[in-house]
Structures are given as structure tokens and as C-alpha cells.
């Protein structure tokens, strides 16, 4: 027997190991991965003989090391500063280190110190160690990488390529999937008790809460052998390409990467029937049309692609997108409930589809595609001719914009060396136009011609012939062109034409100053028409009945007291055609009244304009009328240009019943 009162007669057991509040179990001390960055609450056992003012410290050691090295996690914490009943357990908060507790296996113990003069004693008594486990690695992962779990396996009743349809679901009641067992080699990512599966049946390829079809709490995963999961027919309720995949969650809450995806077509409704898109600007062969060309004029109007109708439409699922040749599809529209569906705003795709490097049209297929919940159903191709080319210098800008590779046109009055200024001395004489031809590709060559524009009036064409790039190409225009547009600042430009294309290569504009060179402007001629601004077949009169009848339109020139007796008055019509099957023009029509009488001066003159062959040259387009006469003061007077829109043909034939030539 010892005589020392400080030495026990027999060794006492150390206090029980501390435990962690919120641990999944006390045996392992495993905490949720989401709590690894949060403070720990450690519940420590007090000694059998404790005092209220004893101190406690929590220590931790790495349990994977052969020699445990204990490190204090807290400063000494006093049980109480005032006398209290001694509790059996005492909770201490341990702050998480920066970045949180690292993945690993640890041990915790508490150390209890006596209070010596307000400070802990030099040595203390430690408790038994308890386990503390931090698991931050998900299934199928180790510290260096995260692998993807194996894909699900389809039942033998659904071989590759077999869709899931109503007949299959009626026979089998759903689909029985198999989830392969976890064969991951590194231990952190292997199967562990408590692993469960979350199964997704989705139209997208990433996990979304709304796509979970497994029961709440998941599917317990087997350690060996495949884990079965039955997806009932009631949960397979939409058509499309559906994706089956899963994640594995361990006890600590670590979630694996989504498994490899298996996709299968679900066909609960009939597939949409294939149709063909309709392009209003290239309607052929609809209605017998031969127009299958989209040129720059069409491009500038923002061509439409129309999906008029297809059978087996699914209003809540079907979405449409359009593709020009090999350009990307898109954008994908929203589900729709009615037809037709019209797509516009595709000019970037149209530009990208035109890849031809020579002048002229290129065959381009246009198609649409139905996206039904991820399942894609392409239409038949509609092949059109697309032409965004121009003759002459290549345009580096967007189609239809003025071509900066074309030099400016300049005009000179008779005998003048000053460009782009016309004076009274130049009146009633021809005006010279000078154009320095371009020197970039494609070089000037025979076959090209130039249309000159004074304001919007077209003059020409003027064949370029053998003129070389860099040379000055000159031609004259009649003063009447200038006079029709009056004085002040006017805009001129030109168009380069190539017979290989219907497109016109437009130059930048030049401003011309007409300084009182056009002396007198007279009132506009008036078209005898029922509706102002439009000339219809119904406005024509019959000179001679028959098949076909001889028709004519009337243009009235107002009288003016400044007109002179006995002089002639000349009416000139300028016709421009926009009907694609006939030449554009312009086409001049001239009528002369040989001698003005006093009634003519007082009341005006009505001219008869033959429908054939004159007005029929522009069944659709514009007609500009002006007239000219010498006034009583000896100055030439010109009628202001008078424009009307021509609708001088029916939808399928000319006003006199004759057929319109096919384009």
C-alpha cells in the first residue's frame, strides 16, 4: 500500500472519448461534407473528480500516421468562473481552420487541467481518443480526379435503336434499368455503406431537380451486382429524345459526377411528317412560277422562310429552326400552336451561304428542322438560286451597299473644266460624265455596262467595251435629264451591270450643284386615273374594239399663260419596269403636240398614250412624265417630273388580254 496520498491505489480509466455533435455516428465521427467548413461542437467528458474552474483543451491527431502527434485545436477553456454543479459533459466549440477541415481520418481527445492561480496547470489528464472522419471525396473519385460512373443498362427488351413507344409501355408497364456496381479501384471512391442513387430522366444532359424520378431518399446502392430501378410508364409521359443518367451520394453527402448518359427516343405520338419550306421571294414552282432566285434586291427585303403546315404537330413540344446550306441552324423558336410559322432576320446566314467566287447564282438548299423535346426531324430541302454577286469591282461591304471600290462619277457642263457644277450657260447642252474605272478585281471587261443615275432617273446603259481599269470612261447625257430635276444640290451615281447577274453594283454618290441652270419649271403633267398615284387597267380607254382591243391611257398637260402660240410641246414618259419577267428599262415614250393654240394654252392638252407597245413595257413599276416647250419669253419651260405607280397588267395577263411572256 502506498503512503503517498497523490498516487491512486490502482490506475483509473481515462475519461470517455469526446464525441462530435451532429456526427453521423460516434464510432467513426463522420461529419457531413457540407459541415467541413463549419465549426465543430465537441462534447467532452469531465473527470470523476472535477472542479468548477478546471480548464479543458481539445486536441487532434492524424490517425493515418504511425506516431500520433497531438495538436491543440483550442486555447484552454474554463468550465466556469463561478461554482456550479459539475456536468457530466462539457461542449467546446472548435473553429474550422482556413479552408475547412481537410479530407482524412483523425482522432480527438480532451485534456483537463487544474486551475493553479487562475491559469491551467503545467500538465493535464487526457481522455480516451475518439474518431473524427472528414470525407470530401465522392464516389468514383480520389484526391487527384473524379471519374464518371458507368452508364445505365437498358433491358434486353429495348435493344439499341429501339424507341420506347406506347406498345412497349403497355406490355412492360415501364422500363427496368440496371445501374452497374461501383468497381472504382482507389479506396476513397469505392462503394461504401450508405451510398444511394439519384436517377434522372431528362430532356437535358445535366441534373435538374425537376427531372429526378427516383424515390425520395434515393435508391440504396448494392455493393456487388447491379442495382435495379424500375421507371413506371406513368413517369414516361413526353415524346422526344430523353436522357437517362444518375448520380451517387455517399453518407457524407458527397455527390458523384453524373454518370455517362444513355439517350433513347420516346415516341408516344406520331413523328411529324416531313414538309418543305416555302420562300415567298423564290416561290417556284408554286402556282406555275419560275422564280427560284433570291438576289440582292430580295436580300435587302429580309427574305422569309415559311413553314406552312405539317401533320402530327405537337403544340407543346415542337420548336422550329431554319438552316441555309451548311450555316448553323437557328435560332430555335418557341413551341407554337398554329400555322404558318414565318422566319426572318436570317441575312447573316444568307450571306454565309453564298460562297461562289464568280458572278452569278449559286444553288443553295434551305431547310427547317423540328426539335421535339430534343428529337430532331429535318424537313426536305428547298433548293433555290442565291445570287449576292455584282458585276465589276467586288463589293467589300454588305450586299446592296454602295461599293467603295468604285470611283465617284463627275459631271462637266459644256465647255467647263469645273466638276459637278452646272451653270445657266450649260443649259440645253449635253453634260459630260467622267468615271475613272476601278483597278481592283474584277477588272473592267467587255460585256459590262453602266447605268447612270441623276437623282433616281436612270440613263443608259453605256457599254464599257474594252476600256481598261484606271482609264477615264466618258459619255454624255442630255440636258433634259438635268432639267427634269431642277436646280440646287442633286445626287448622282452609277450602276455597273453584268449580264451574268440581275444585281446592280452601285457606286458611292456625288453631289452636283445645279446653279439656276434650269430656268423655268412648269406644272406637273397629270395622269387620267381614278385613283391618284396608281394607273390601273380600268383607267385605260378603248380606241378600237377587238381581240385584242386597242387601248390607250391619257396624260393631261395643264395650260400655262407663259406658253407661246404656234410652238410645239413634247411630252416624254420614262417607264421603269419591276416585273421580273421583262426588261427593266428605262423605256422612253415621246409624244409631240405640233402647235399650241389659245385653247391649248387656256385649257391644257390631253395626250393619248398607246398601251401596246408603249405602256405595256412597264406592267409593274413606275412611269415618270415631263414635258417641254418654248415659252413666250424664249426660254424653254419644262414640266416638273410627275410619277405614277404602274399597275398596267392583270395578275396573269396584260390589260388587253394578251399573255405576259414567261421569264
pLDDT for res 455 = 93
pLDDT (tens digit per residue) in 553-576: 999 999 999 999 999 999 999 999
**pLDDT computed for residue 504 by the predictor:** 96
Q: pLDDT per residue over 132-187, tens digit each? A: 999 999 999 999 999 999 999 999 999 998 999 999 999 999 999 999 999 999 98
Could you tell me the pLDDT band of residue 1, with boundaries at 50, 70 and 90?
very low
pLDDT digits (tens, 9 = 90+) for 329-348: 989 999 999 999 999 999 99
pLDDT of residue 428: 86
Cα–Cα–Cα angle for 432, 435, 438, nearest 5°? Answer: 170
Identify the CATH number of the domain defined by range 522-647.
Answer: 2.60.40
User: Can you tell me the distance from the alpha carbon of 211 to that of 512, in angstroms, rounded to the nearest whole number?
Assistant: 70
How many Å apart are CA 12 and CA 9, to the nearest integer?
A: 9
Query: Average pLDDT over the chain, rounded to whole?
Result: 93
Residues 641, 645, 646, 651, Cα dihedral to 10°: 170
The pLDDT, as a whole number, for residue 519 is 74
Instruction: Count CA within 13 A, CB hemisphere, residue 224.
Output: 0
**Residue 427 or residue 20, greater confidence:** 20
Out of 2.60.40, 2.40.50, 1.10.3470, 2.60.120, which CATH number does the structure's domain 19-134 have? Answer: 2.60.40
Nearest to 648 by CA among 587, 579, 590: 579
Span 272-310, pLDDT tens digits: 999 999 999 999 999 999 999 999 999 999 999 999 999
- Res. 437 pLDDT band, cuts 50 70 90: very high
Reference 57, options 41, 44, 67, 40; nearest CA is 44
Q: Assign a CATH topology to domain 409-518.
A: Immunoglobulin-like (2.60.40)
Question: In the predicted model, is pLDDT for residue 509 greater than 50?
Answer: yes
Reported as a single tens digit per residue, the pLDDT across 571-618 is 999 999 999 888 998 999 999 999 999 999 999 999 999 999 999 999
Instruction: Tell me the mean pLDDT in the region 19-45.
Output: 95
User: Residue 456 above 60 pLDDT?
Assistant: yes
Task: Tell me the C-alpha to C-alpha distance, in Å, between residue 79 and each of 13, 74, 221.
Answer: 21, 14, 45
* Assigned C-alpha cell, 138: 465522392
Question: Please, where in the chain does CATH 2.60.40.10 lie?
Answer: 142-267, 409-518
Q: What is the mean pLDDT of residues 450-469?
A: 94
CATH of span 286-386 = 2.60.40
Backbone angles phi, psi at 599, to 5 degrees: -60, -35
Closest CA to 373 of 276, 269, 230: 269
Question: Among residues 18, 24, 26, which one has the least CA distance to residue 74?
Answer: 18
Superfamily of domain 142-267: Immunoglobulins (2.60.40.10)
Instruction: Report whether pLDDT(325) > 80.
Output: yes
Amino acid at each position: 500500500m502506498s503512503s503517498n496520498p497523490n498516487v491512486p491505489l490502482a490506475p483509473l480509466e481515462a475519461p470517455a472519448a469526446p464525441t462530435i455533435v451532429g456526427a453521423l455516428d460516434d464510432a467513426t465521427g463522420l461529419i457531413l461534407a457540407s459541415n467541413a467548413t463549419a465549426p465543430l461542437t465537441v462534447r467532452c467528458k469531465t473527470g470523476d473528480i472535477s472542479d468548477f474552474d478546471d480548464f479543458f483543451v481539445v486536441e487532434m491527431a492524424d490517425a493515418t500516421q504511425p506516431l500520433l502527434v497531438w495538436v491543440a485545436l483550442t486555447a484552454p477553456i474554463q468550465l466556469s468562473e463561478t461554482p456550479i454543479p459539475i456536468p457530466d459533459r462539457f461542449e467546446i466549440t472548435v473553429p474550422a481552420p482556413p479552408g475547412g477541415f481537410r479530407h482524412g481520418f483523425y482522432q480527438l481527445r480532451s485534456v483537463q487541467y487544474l486551475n493553479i492561480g487562475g491559469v491551467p496547470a503545467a500538465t493535464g489528464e487526457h481522455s480516451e481518443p475518439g474518431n473524427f472522419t472528414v470525407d470530401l471525396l465522392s464516389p468514383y473519385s480520389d484526391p487527384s480526379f473524379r471519374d464518371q460512373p458507368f452508364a445505365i443498362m437498358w433491358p434486353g427488351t429495348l435493344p439499341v435503336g429501339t424507341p420506347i413507344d406506347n406498345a412497349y409501355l403497355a406490355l412492360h408497364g415501364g422500363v427496368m434499368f440496371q445501374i452497374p456496381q461501383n468497381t472504382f479501384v482507389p479506396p476513397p471512391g469505392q462503394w461504401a455503406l450508405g451510398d444511394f442513387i439519384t436517377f434522372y430522366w431528362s430532356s437535358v444532359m445535366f441534373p435538374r431537380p425537376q427531372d429526378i424520378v427516383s424515390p425520395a431518399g434515393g435508391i440504396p446502392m448494392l455493393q456487388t451486382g447491379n442495382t435495379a430501378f424500375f421507371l413506371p410508364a406513368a413517369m414516361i409521359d413526353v415524346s422526344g429524345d430523353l436522357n437517362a443518367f444518375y448520380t451517387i451520394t455517399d453518407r457524407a453527402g458527397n455527390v458523384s459526377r453524373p454518370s455517362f448518359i444513355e439517350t433513347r427516343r420516346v415516341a408516344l405520338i406520331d413523328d411529324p411528317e416531313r414538309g418543305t419550306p416555302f420562300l415567298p421571294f423564290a416561290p417556284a414552282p408554286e402556282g406555275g412560277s419560275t422564280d427560284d432566285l433570291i438576289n440582292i434586291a430580295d436580300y435587302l427585303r429580309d427574305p422569309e422562310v415559311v413553314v406552312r403546315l405539317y401533320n402530327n404537330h405537337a403544340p407543346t413540344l415542337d420548336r422550329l429552326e431554319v438552316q441555309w446550306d451548311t450555316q448553323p441552324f437557328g435560332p430555335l423558336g418557341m413551341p407554337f400552336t398554329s400555322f404558318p410559322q414565318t422566319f426572318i432576320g436570317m441575312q447573316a446566314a444568307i450571306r454565309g451561304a453564298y460562297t461562289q467566287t464568280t458572278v452569278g447564282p449559286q444553288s443553295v438548299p434551305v431547310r427547317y428542322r423540328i426539335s421535339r423535346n430534343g428529337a430532331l426531324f429535318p424537313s426536305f430541302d428547298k433548293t433555290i438560286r442565291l445570287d449576292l454577286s455584282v458585276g465589276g469591282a467586288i463589293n467589300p461591304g454588305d450586299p446592296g451597299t454602295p461599293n467603295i471600290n468604285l470611283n465617284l462619277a463627275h459631271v462637266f457642263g459644256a465647255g467647263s473644266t469645273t466638276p459637278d457644277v452646272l451653270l445657266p450657260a450649260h443649259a440645253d447642252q449635253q453634260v459630260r460624265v467622267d468615271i475613272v474605272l476601278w483597278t481592283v478585281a474584277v477588272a473592267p471587261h467587255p460585256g459590262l455596262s453602266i447605268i447612270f443615275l441623276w437623282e433616281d432617273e436612270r440613263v443608259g446603259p453605256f457599254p464599257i467595251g474594252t476600256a481598261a481599269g484606271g482609264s477615264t470612261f466618258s459619255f454624255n447625257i442630255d440636258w433634259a435629264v438635268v432639267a427634269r430635276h431642277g436646280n440646287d444640290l442633286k445626287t448622282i451615281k452609277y450602276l455597273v451591270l453584268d449580264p451574268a447577274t440581275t444585281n446592280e453594283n452601285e457606286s458611292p454618290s456625288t453631289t452636283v450643284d445645279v446653279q439656276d441652270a434650269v430656268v423655268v419649271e412648269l406644272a406637273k403633267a397629270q395622269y387620267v386615273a381614278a385613283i391618284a398615284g396608281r394607273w390601273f387597267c380600268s383607267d385605260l380607254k378603248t380606241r378600237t374594239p377587238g381581240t385584242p382591243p386597242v387601248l390607250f391611257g391619257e396624260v393631261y398637260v395643264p395650260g400655262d399663260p407663259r406658253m407661246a402660240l404656234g410652238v410645239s410641246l413634247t411630252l416624254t414618259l420614262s417607264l421603269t419596269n419591276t416585273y421580273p419577267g421583262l426588261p427593266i428599262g428605262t423605256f422612253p415614250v415621246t409624244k409631240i403636240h405640233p402647235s399650241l393654240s389659245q385653247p391649248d394654252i387656256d385649257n391644257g392638252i390631253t395626250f393619248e398614250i398607246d398601251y401596246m407597245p408603249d405602256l405595256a413595257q412597264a406592267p409593274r413599276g413606275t412611269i415618270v412624265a415631263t414635258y417641254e416647250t418654248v415659252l413666250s419669253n424664249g426660254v424653254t419651260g419644262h414640266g416638273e417630273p410627275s410619277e405614277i405607280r404602274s399597275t398596267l397588267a392583270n395578275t396573269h395577263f396584260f390589260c388587253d388580254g394578251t399573255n405576259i411572256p414567261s421569264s
